[in-house]
Structure 1
Amino acid sequence: MNATAQDQRAAVWTVVDSDIGPLLLAATGEGLVTVVFHATDAVRTKALDRLGSRLGAEPVHAPDSPLLAEPIRQFAEYFAAGRRDFELPLDWSLISGFNRQVLRELLSGVPYGSVVGYGDLARRVGQPGAAQAVGLAMGANPLPVVVPCHRVVERDGGIGGFGGGLETKRHLLALEGVLPQPLF
């Protein structure tokens, strides 16, 4: 791999505060590559080790990197209810196959303030019997919030699972007006 290709694969990262706790944001020259919930020291260390292993280069802490400036700004706007859609280049290299297909459909086909069922999303990608596989794809989503896996719910109206925790999912759905804001 030449130096330019290696630079494209190297990730820069930072942790930002949000309404749902600290988020680790990492980007490559291709775009935002991962978002990690609850980025405490232990979570951050594990996530960065895994990211470095997957990309073949150790991520570099660079909160002032131009690669992170726009993601940081857009996340702040989203949590301030000033942004409905993220307009960021995304690096899809951490996800492939069926999971990538499902996540791309979710990103393009389920707008802010709406939800979709696991089975409905499976049908949209031509796999009507794959609701459980859609759930696994949501759990493997390396770009939560931007690729809005919080908008996928159970057919019977249940909230479903969420890698960031159910309180995080409820908060994101309330922010988007799908659920009422908590009373306290």
Structure 2
Amino acid sequence: MTAGRDDDALTWEGDDDPTLDVGATPPPDAEPEPDATKVLPEGFTAVGKGSEEFAKGTDADETAVLADRETAGGASASLGNAGLIGLGVLGGIYLLYAIGWIVGGLRLRGTAQFLVSPIAYDVAMWLAAATPIIWFAAVYLLTRTSPVWMRFAWLAAGALLLIPWPFIMMGAIGR
């Protein structure tokens, strides 16, 4: 038996090809360069192994780093557990609304043939069924950098505006 790379389970023929190297690796005895951009916010103290890498910066340095983060798109705050649960509940409501529009629209299909052409009714029904999903996706994507309360305000407004009235008026069985 030979020892070394030939015993590795994930080796392939040609792994030793020098053109496959992604970048130059520093020698193992070289010390890593200290990163000058690692600045702790005011009130925080780095302790433990590797704490010497963090420099105590001035207020101007901290504001410059925070301004760079905000312009890079890091301004949006995470939702947290309650926000994620609320988003899931509202997403489920919107999904039920889409199903309600489909069921209610299919129930009214026979009655609506007297008023509009069947093709126009089908287009309108499927557009109405897709509207809750489109609203949820649009609010989710367009309020990424907005405050969390604004996202939930728009989602709550959509939940009030997009109620599936054909399902509510006719029910699942119809009259």
User: Normalising by the residue count of structure 2, what TM-score does the alignment of the two structures yield?
Assistant: 0.21
Greater radius of gyration (CA) = 2
> Between Structure 1 and Structure 2, which shows a larger proportion of helix residues?
2
Higher relative contact order (CA 8 A, sep 6+): 2
> Between Structure 1 and Structure 2, which shows a larger proportion of strand residues?
1
